[in-house]
Amino acid sequence: MNDFILDFESLLEKFPAEVSTIDTAAFHEKSIPEKWSKKEILGHLIDSAMTNYLRFIRAQSEENPQIFYVQDMFCENANYQQSETKQLLDLWLSLNRQLLFLFKTVLAKNLTMRKCNDLTLAFLMEDYVAHLNHHRHQILA
């Protein structure tokens, strides 16, 4: 199995528990008003999961769909800072479990060379897991 899939499975197992250990004040703290809090970074990961889910669904039947999102606007409009943390973690976990299933489906169907946003699904899968790891480190720092 691809290393990024094993990485993804590992993230799904440990990340919710890791986030749960973060002090509430630290999770909400913003170093400066323009920067995201750790909680908003978690919200960004939810937006990323939803957007990528659409990419992987549509790219299986459409030729190179173009699906983008405005990160700051999504984060602000979703009001993650005031959302319940457990609800956000549950949503993150649910979305990512479904994405993991979808990644395995794309691999099994050998559709990794299909494109979205001019990038192969193989690249987007690996990049998604790298993106999760990047933001995991930010949240846990």
User: Considering just the CA atoms, what is the radius of gyration of the chain in Å?
Assistant: 15
Q: Which residues contact 98 (CB under 8 A, 6 or more apart)?
A: 53
Answer yes or no: is pLDDT of 22 > 90: yes
Q: Model confidence over 52-67: pLDDT tens digits? A: 999 999 999 999 999 9
User: Model confidence over 123-139: pLDDT tens digits?
Assistant: 999 999 999 999 999 99
pLDDT tens sequence across 78-110: 999 999 999 999 999 999 999 999 999 999 999
Q: Which residues contact 47 (CB under 8 A, 6 or more apart)?
A: 69, 71, 74, 75, 78
Alpha helices in the chain (DSSP H): 3-20, 24-28, 38-59, 71-78, 85-108, 121-140
**Cα 48 to Cα 51: distance, rounded to the nearest angstrom:** 5
- Per-residue confidence (pLDDT) for residue 58, from 0 to 100: 98
User: Where do the structural domains in the chain lie, given as residue ranges?
Assistant: 3-140
**pLDDT beyond 70 at 44:** yes
- Residue whose token pair is 């197992």: 13
- Assigned architecture for domain 3-140: Up-down Bundle (1.20)
